[in-house]
Amino acid sequence: MTYFVACIFLFLGMSVGVSATPIRIVSLSPAATEIICTLNGRTSLVGVSTDCDYPTSVKSLPKIGGFLQPSMERILALSPTIVVGIGQPNSAAFSSLRKKGIQVLLFDSPQKIDDIYTIISHVGTAMGHQERAKQVVLSLRTQVREIERSKPKIAPSVLIVIWHPPLTVAAGNTFISDMVHKAGGINVIESGFTPYPKLQRETMLYKNPEIILVADPGAISAVHTDAMIKLTLAAKYGFIISSIDPNLLLRPGPRFPMAMRQIQPILIAASPHE
């Protein structure tokens, strides 16, 4: 089910907006938690996943389990009116929550930055915070435009490593790739792949990226010790980058412009004609 089809399915036959019942929200993912809090919904949060850690005040909230294995029993025990997740499979267990009258908003992993704006708008509508959502989206769009105006004249090629081993990368149909593109880089892995394919190292070497962006700290050692990666232009010129906060880089939430601002100076430094 595609992102937009998923949204249509989840909102059909469901009333959204302000309700007479106090809003009680359970968040299933860190990005959803950040969006809810940015939309002034912190006081409505009654439970979060064990992976949710920002803002720091959410760490004290009841935990409903991990990102991929939330506990339906724990969720029900919190008596939520809204459950929000990004990237979770739409399983039969969530259908059981809907049958109990709980509004369940599950969004596919965004493929573009525009998808993040759409998620923010839908969550804001469900919370009754439409105006706040409009303000947040406008601010994010403004920040992205400002970053785009500072692109390097020549876009360097980038490989975005999500994990290694096996060498797992972000293809062109991911929001991470869109961030790199709008900041001024070119992803060497096009959109024809699955979003996060496992890449043959020979293919990686053939693509020969000028920058290798390592998203997960757990992959840093394997990337730096890989004999074939050492043959790339990125390794030759010292552009294997692992310094960007993975919580900014990997979460499709309202802090993504901060990641773009950290990416862009690297792109400018690696651009051959800057």
Angle of helix 256-270 relative to helix 130-148, nearest 10 degrees, comes to: 10
pLDDT digits (tens, 9 = 90+) for 171-213: 999 999 999 999 999 999 987 779 999 999 999 999 999 999 9
Quote the DSSP letter at residue 58.
G
Q: Residue 68: what pLDDT?
A: 85
Residue 274 has pLDDT above 70, yes or no: no
> Which CATH number does 157-270 carry?
3.40.50.1980
Cα angle value 8/9/15 (rounded, 5°): 80
Structure tokens belonging to residue 41: 């919904």
Distance of CA 41 to the CA centre of its chain: 19
Identify the band that residue 5 occupies on the pLDDT scale cut at 50, 70 and 90: very low
Q: Are 118 and 147 in contact (CB under 8 A)?
A: no
* pLDDT tens track for 49-90: 999 999 999 999 999 999 888 999 999 999 999 999 999 888
Task: Kindly report whether the global pTM for this prediction surpasses the value 0.95.
Answer: no
More confident residue, 93 or 252: 252
Given a cut of 70, whether residue 136 has pLDDT beyond it is yes
Q: With 50 as the cut, is the pLDDT of residue 92 above it?
A: yes
3-145 shares its CATH topology with 157-270: yes
Task: Please write the tens of the pLDDT for every residue from 150-169.
Answer: 999 999 999 999 999 999 99
Q: How far is CA 110 from CA 33, 42, 148, in A?
A: 16, 23, 20
pLDDT above 50 (res 16): no
pLDDT of residue 9: 39
pLDDT of residue 12: 35
What ranges in the chain are assigned the alpha helix state H?
3-11, 30-38, 72-77, 92-99, 113-127, 130-148, 175-183, 201-207, 220-225, 233-236, 246-250, 256-270
CATH architecture entry for 3-145 = 3-Layer(aba) Sandwich (3.40)
Residue spans per domain, the chain: 3-145, 157-270
Contact call for residues 36 and 52 (beta carbons, < 8 A) = no
Q: Percent of the chain beyond pLDDT 70?
A: 92
pLDDT of residue 8: 36
Position 25 confidence tier, pLDDT thresholds 50, 70, 90: very high
Average pLDDT across the chain, whole number: 92
